Amino acid sequence: MKLKALLVDDEVHILNNLSKVLPWAEMGFEIIGLARSGVDALETAILHQPDLILSDIRMPVMDGITLVRQVREQGLTCEILLLSGYQEFEYARTALRYGVRDYICKPINYMELEQTVQDIARQINEQKKRQAAELRLQEAAVRIQDTRLLHALLGLDQETGAEFEEEGEAGEKNRYGILLVDLEGYAHQSIMWKIRDRKAWNLRLTTVLKDMLAPQLVSCTVLQLREGEWCVVFENSIAKDEMTREEMKPGYERLQAVVNEKEGMMIRMCVEKSQLSMRELGPAYQRLQQILIRSEPEEWYLDAGAKQSESGLLNSGGALDATEPQWLWIEQIGSGLRGGNQELLAQVMNELKCYIGHLNEGQAGRVEKVLHYLLIYLLREMRELQMLSGGQEEMIWLRLQGALSLKELLSLIMSLIEQAKESLMGKKSSERLMMAAQSYIQQHLGKDFGIEDIADYLGISCSYFCLLFKNYFGETFVEHLTRQRIEAAKSLLGGSDKSITHIGSVVGYQERRYFTKVFQKYTGMTPSEYRMKESSAI
């Protein structure tokens, strides 16, 4: 991409000479404006954000010194080169205090000016490269941390490998809180939406949610494990009296105002403010889901740490009462579906039948409510895992509109679990997806991509992709990608004379320092040491 230059002089012939005598294109510049006053120059600079301003000092209306000062007041960091007569040297010295790079005395020595501009262009390009490299490293760090949090929430085991080394130990010491945001009624209301409309709606709410949380949570990650649900993981430095119902209400109302554009949906939130380790995020996420399920749909804010004995959500120790089997079934169904465990699903079916068969009349009403929630949970999970067609889901929702007996609810749940088991037996669809994923990785090995990119390419959610990938390859996506890249690098190091920087770039590491670090962590040697070892073995 070419650099942008703005030329400023009130004398037309000098302005024309500056634009035509110097080889701007060869020096890597495009001229984005010719201005005859400081006023015009300032307007053009604000609009086009030039990399270099070349300006005379003495001009009517607004002189060069005033232009320089106002450019800096606007926050523009471009390089500035001034043209001045000998008698204006003191003006030039004043301008240097505003970060002006240099000045050229009139009459202009165009060879000297060309050399000065070339030097400035080289320095600008070097600075842009450094900034781009720093940005890539920051984005990579964010992507790696997001992946770790996603895997932790899904309960996937992960090794702290080379990609995680920077914050590996710190990550174990960090403590987190979770805010679970759920869109009540979304699963039902969105049945007939087109896929692109569902994606656009979820993306819009994600953006509003991030804006809503920005004033309260300086450092947080918003992850969407399934449609209509967002898990906000934040570094837990907040006090117990923060993120209260009162503090969250303005943001909630803003979010709900967007949701109200569609009918039949309501935002609900549940927050866990206790200090959680990375390994505790998965169980905490499931616990928040259960709290939302067991509370009244009209309750938009719940604090997992607050005792809610009047609603029967927590036991005396402040934890969920896990002694009732119906609540364990929800967790087991989720694990069975996402882990591909048909035996666990069959076990839940048998326990359900046995439990319902031994109920007394006093328990029936409460269990009926639980089964209703279990059915909705099952529908959402099966949609996310692409186990249901839109028509099948619509038929079930239509049945739920009427009054269903305990027996009818159980029958619906059993039929859905049976369908899920049959879907899990048909491995071909999963295998095709993972073969396509492997092909994508090989074709894009040298490019910068992450879980979201490959999941979008496959047309599935990030959480579903992570689960499929771990089940199929036996390792997480990041672990697999790192191994593929390092193995490719080893082959190139041993079989070519290309530079280490070039080889790192070919396999997806644009920074040699980072490539060396990952390679050494993986192999125990630097790329140079590995190349020498391979050369000596020939």
* CATH code of residue 59: 3.40.50.2300
Q: Do residues 21 and 88 both lie within one domain?
A: yes
**Within 10 A of 125 (CB to CB), how many other CB atoms are there?**
13
Boundary of a domain, candidates 68, 90, 108: 108
Q: Do residues 409 and 439 both lie within one domain?
A: no
Q: Is 383 part of a structural domain of the chain?
A: yes
Q: Tell which residue, 337, 322, 251, 323, has the closest CA to residue 291.
A: 322
Q: Is 508 part of a structural domain of the chain?
A: yes
Q: Which domain holds residue 9?
A: 3-108
Q: Is 278 part of a structural domain of the chain?
A: no
Q: Do residues 17 and 104 both lie within one domain?
A: yes
Helix, strand, coil abundance in the chain, percent, nearest 5? 60, 10, 25
Q: What is the rounded distance in angstroms from the CA atom of residue 135 to the CA atom of residue 145?
A: 15
Residue with structure tokens 């450019």? 71
Question: The domain spanning residue 516 has which CATH number?
Answer: 1.10.10.60
Q: Is 250 part of a structural domain of the chain?
A: no
Q: Do residues 421 and 434 both lie within one domain?
A: no
The pLDDT of residue 312: 45
pLDDT tens, N- to C-terminus, the chain (538 residues): 899 999 999 999 999 999 999 999 999 999 999 999 999 999 999 999 999 999 998 888 898 889 999 999 999 999 999 887 755 566 656 767 777 888 788 888 899 999 999 999 999 999 998 888 788 777 777 777 888 888 888 877 655 444 544 444 444 568 899 999 999 888 778 877 887 888 889 999 999 999 988 888 878 899 988 889 999 998 876 666 678 899 899 999 999 999 999 888 999 999 998 888 888 998 899 889 878 877 887 889 999 887 444 444 444 333 334 445 666 787 788 777 776 777 888 888 888 888 777 766 666 666 777 777 788 888 888 877 777 777 777 787 777 777 677 777 888 888 888 888 777 766 557 788 888 899 899 889 888 888 989 988 888 888 888 888 988 898 989 899 999 999 999 999 988 888 999 999 999 888 888 899 999 999 999 999 999 888 876 5
Q: What is the rounded distance in angstroms from the CA atom of residue 230 to the CA atom of residue 221?
A: 10
Q: What is the H or E stretch that residue 270 is in?
A: strand 266-276
The pLDDT of residue 315: 43
Q: Do residues 9 and 97 both lie within one domain?
A: yes
Q: Is 403 part of a structural domain of the chain?
A: yes
Q: Do residues 435 and 530 both lie within one domain?
A: yes
Q: Is 488 part of a structural domain of the chain?
A: yes
Q: Do residues 331 and 373 both lie within one domain?
A: yes
Q: Are 453 and 481 in contact (CB under 8 A)?
A: no
Q: Is 337 part of a structural domain of the chain?
A: yes
Q: Do residues 421 and 437 both lie within one domain?
A: no
Q: Do residues 351 and 419 both lie within one domain?
A: yes
- Report field, pTM of the whole predicted structure over 0.85: no
Boundary of a domain, candidates 62, 87, 108: 108
Q: Do residues 48 and 17 both lie within one domain?
A: yes
Q: Is 379 part of a structural domain of the chain?
A: yes
- How many domains is the chain partitioned into structurally? 3
- Cα–Cα distance list, 517 to 46, 162, 293, 531 (Å): 41, 8, 46, 15
Boundary of a domain, candidates 60, 85, 108: 108
Give the chain's count of helices (H) and strands (E). 22, 10
**Assigned token pair, 502:** 């070039």
Q: Do residues 449 and 421 both lie within one domain?
A: no
Q: Do residues 414 and 508 both lie within one domain?
A: no
Q: Tell which residue, 2, 263, 67, 157, has the closest CA to residue 478.
A: 157
Q: Tell which residue, 232, 239, 318, 308, has the closest CA to residue 271.
A: 232
Q: What is the rounded distance in angstroms from the CA atom of residue 90 to the CA atom of residue 96?
A: 10
Q: Are 333 and 381 in contact (CB under 8 A)?
A: yes
Q: Are strands 229-235 and 176-184 parallel, antiparallel or unpaired?
A: antiparallel
